[in-house]
Amino acid sequence: MAAIARLAPAKVNLFLHVGPLEADGYHPLASLVAFADVGDRLTIEPADRLSLVVTGPFAGALDAEGDNLVLRAARALGAAAGIGEPGLRITLDKQLPVAAGLGGGSSDAGAVLKLARDGLGLPFDDVALADIAAGLGADGPLCLHTRAAWAEGRGEILTFETHLPPLPALLVNPGVPSSTGAVYRAFDDGSSGRADRPPPPSVWGVASVTAWLSVQRNDLQPPAVALAPAIEKALAVTAALPGARLTRMSGSGATVFALFDTTAAAEAAGQALAALHPDWWVQPTVLR
C-alpha cells in the first residue's frame, strides 16, 4: 500500500435550532449543515504499528490529547474488521482551529475511516463506516459522509440535501477556543430554544437561500458569546465587511461565517479582514 491522503473538510451549521435538555441527557436539535472546501488533511501509510503524527499550524492545540478521535477511529475500524489494531502511520495536517465549531475532530475521524478502509481493502461501504463513526460521536455519520444534510435528533438523523447551491463564504475564528460542554451548560442555565426544522426555501438559489437563512438562528450563539466575548467582536467585524449578506456562528463556536454573492467578494473581504486582524484565522471558502 502506498501512502494515500484525503481532505477532512470543515463542517458549518448554516442554522442550529436546539431544544431543552431531555431526560436522556441530550439536547434535540435541527440543523442544515454544509461542508467547506477547506479543512485538515489526513495521510496514511503502512507501518509496523498504529501511530499518529500531528503537523500544521494548529498541531500544538492537540498536544494534550494522548488518544484523539483519529486513533480511536482507526482502532474501531480494526475491531469491526476483526484484524485488531491496524498497522498504519497516520499524519494529521491540522489546518483547522481546535474547539472551533467546525467538527474538525469528527471530520478527521471520518477521513481516517475512509482512508484505512481503502488502503487496507476492507469490505465496508460508506453506510457501514457511518455505523462505526456513530460510536465515536453524534456527528460522526454526518462528518463521514461530508454531504450537505438536514441533521435532527441528536444530530444522527440525516436527510441529505441535494438542492443546496454552492455558497461563497468566509470563515473567521478570533483565536479563542469555545468549549461545547460549557456552551451547552450556559444554554441550559439561561437560554431557550426549540429543535424546530423549518420548511425549506421555495427557491434554492444563493440569494434566496441566504434570505431564508437570515430568519433562522443558532440557539448556541448567545451563550457562546456570553462565555467568549471575542466571538461577538468577530461577528460584528465580519458583518461589517463589504458584501457580507449574512453572518452567524457555526456550531458551539468560536468560528463565525459570512455568506457572499460571489467567491470574488468573499476573497476580497477575507483579504481586508486578514489585514485588519492578522492574528485571526480567516479563510475564504465555498460551502456545499
Tell me which residues are annotated as active site: 11, 139
Which residues, listed in sequence order, are joined to residue 6 by a DSSP beta bridge? Answer: 42
Instruction: Give the DSSP H/E element, type plus range, for residue 53.
Output: strand 51-55
Nearest to 254 by CA among 287, 222, 224: 224
3-class secondary structure, 255: coil
Q: Cβ(49)–Cβ(87) under 8 Å?
A: yes
Contacts of 85-89 spanning 24+ positions with Cβ under 8 A: 85/49, 85/50, 86/50, 86/116, 86/120, 87/46, 87/47, 87/48, 87/49, 87/50, 88/44, 88/45, 88/46, 88/47, 88/50, 88/51, 88/116, 88/119, 89/44, 89/45, 89/46, 89/47, 89/51, 89/53
The whole-angstrom separation of Cα 123 and Cα 121 is 7
Closest by Cα among 85, 139, 91, 144 to 113: 144
For residue 169, the 8-state DSSP code is: E
Distance CA 172, CA 230 (A): 11
State how far the Cα of 268 lies from the Cα of 199, in Å rounded to an integer: 33
Do 50 and 86 contact (CB within 8 A), yes or no? yes
Number of DSSP helices (H) and strands (E) in the chain, helices first: 9, 10
